[in-house]
């Protein structure tokens, strides 16, 4: 799709005014490109305008996506992007009405977030601490990665973007930038502070021999550059796969585990919401379902009449 003026303004609005991440803006662009491809096909190559698209056309778009094997969750996400685009066009008086506003998204199955149980977490940190005790660069760094993802509930992107100036080890907290570049303070556990203290000298050694070190980033690769998201994911998957083989756990699973274990221990839901940086309480409430599901599983396994 050749990006027309309306789409271009919308994407600029997402980046500069709503301050969404570049990756999110790219996803919106792809979703609108798919809509435009459908409309080209639907109209048989005849000219169409955003203002002439009707509600029935969007239903056709949903069916078109389904025939291409996209899941309901993906179709719902694309429809969300289209809704945002038409809301923007309507506010800018580019279309007379918003035909997507009353369109229902596909009904989604409830999917509980994957997380590690307490014994798996103990196994992960036992192995990571043993490697960090060797006082090498990778071992000390990898323990910091795990401590911050699980101990502070960071998103992968938040850890990747964390800079040294964001750490306040004296106060035991860190400043992170979440979705939409929203800033929040998260606590740093005592074990994370100790891990960071052991890692920083090894980090300095790596940076000192690098030709162009990244002086800002907390998490570095052996070349002295900011460690990529893919590499962080690779490190975490390795530890989780050893502790819980076949479960398919990832770096984000540590964030899920952080929230689930807090709620299991009686933490207040609103407090967990703030720690996670969620905008809506309903986003955090999914973790209460996780806890309830675990109780049901324990009941079914343990009660003689279950």
- Owner of token pair 């690769």: 221
Last residue of a domain, one of 56, 91, 126: 91
Assess whether 79 and 173 both reside in one domain: no
The candidate with the shortest Cα–Cα distance to 32, out of 60, 16, 8, 56, is: 8
From 165, 153, 147, select the one nearest 217 (Cα to Cα): 165
- 177/284 same-domain check: yes
DSSP 83-129: HHHHHHHHHTTSSSS-TTTTPPPPPPPP-PPP---HHHHHHHHHHHH
My answer on whether 172 and 236 are in the same domain is: yes
Does residue 255 have an active-site annotation? yes
Q: Which CATH number covers residue 166?
A: 1.10.443.10
Distance CA(129)–CA(138), nearest Å, equals 12
In a domain, 110, yes or no: no
- Does 158 lie in the same domain as 41? no
| Residues spanned by the domain of 134 | 118-301
| Structural domain count of the chain | 2
**Do residue 272 and residue 213 come from a single domain?**
yes
Say whether both 75 and 123 belong to one domain.
no
Answer whether residue 82 is part of any domain.
yes
Both 209 and 287 in one domain: the answer is yes
* Backbone dihedral region for residue 64 (phi beyond 0: left; psi -120 to 50: alpha; all else: beta): alpha
One digit per residue, the tens of pLDDT, for the chain of length 306 reads 445 889 999 999 999 888 888 888 999 999 999 999 999 999 887 889 999 999 999 999 999 999 999 998 899 999 999 999 999 999 999 898 888 888 888 876 655 567 888 899 999 999 999 999 999 999 999 999 999 999 999 999 999 999 999 999 999 999 998 877 788 999 999 999 999 999 999 999 999 999 999 999 999 999 999 999 999 999 999 999 998 888 888 999 999 999 889 888 888 888 889 899 887 877 777 777 666 666 666 667 777 775
- Of the residues 83, 175, 179, 198, only one is catalytic, namely 179
CA 202 – CA 236 distance, rounded (Å): 20
- Catalytic (active site) residue 150: no
289 is catalytic: no
Is 12 noted as a catalytic residue in this protein?
no
Is 177 among the domain residues? Answer: yes
- Report d(CA 163, CA 218) in Å as an integer: 5
Domain end marker among 75, 91, 107: 91
Point out the catalytic residue in the list 155, 160, 202, 203.
155
Let me know if residue 144 belongs to a domain: yes
State yes or no: is 28 an active-site residue.
no
Same domain, 30 and 165: no
Whether 78 and 150 map to the same domain: the answer is: no
- Catalytic residue check, 199: no
């Amino acid at each position: 799709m050749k990006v027309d003026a309306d789409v271009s303004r919308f994407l600029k609005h997402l980046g500069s005014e709503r301050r969404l991440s570049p990756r999110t803006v790219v996803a919106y662009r792809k979703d609108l490109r798919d809509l435009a491809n459908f409309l080209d096909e639907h109209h048989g190559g005849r000219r169409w305008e955003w203002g002439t698209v009707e509600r029935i056309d969007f239903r056709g778009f949903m069916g078109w996506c389904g025939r291409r094997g996209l899941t309901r969750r993906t179709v719902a996400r694309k429809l969300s992007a289209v809704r945002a685009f038409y809301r923007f066009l309507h506010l800018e008086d580019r279309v007379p009405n918003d035909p997507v506003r009353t369109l229902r998204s596909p009904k989604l199955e409830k999917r509980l977030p994957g997380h590690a149980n307490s014994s798996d977490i103990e196994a992960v940190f036992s192995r990571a601490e043993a490697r960090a005790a060797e006082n090498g660069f990778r071992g000390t760094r990898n323990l910091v990665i795990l401590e911050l993802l699980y101990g502070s509930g960071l998103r992968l992107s938040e850890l990747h973007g964390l800079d040294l100036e964001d750490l306040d080890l004296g106060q035991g907290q860190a400043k992170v930038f979440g979705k939409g570049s929203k800033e929040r303070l998260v606590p740093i556990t005592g074990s994370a502070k100790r891990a960071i203290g052991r890692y920083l000298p090894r980090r300095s050694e790596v940076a000192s021999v690098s030709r162009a070190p990244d002086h800002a980033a907390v998490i570095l690769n052996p070349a002295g550059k900011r460690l990529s998201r893919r590499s962080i994911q690779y490190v975490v998957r390795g530890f989780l796969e050893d502790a819980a083989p076949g479960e398919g756990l990832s770096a984000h699973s540590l964030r899920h585990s952080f929230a689930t274990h807090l709620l299991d221990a009686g933490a207040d839901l609103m407090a967990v919401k703030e720690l996670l940086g969620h905008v809506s309480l309903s986003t955090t409430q999914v973790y209460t379902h996780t806890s309830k599901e675990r109780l049901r599983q324990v009941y079914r396994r343990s009660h003689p009449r279950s």
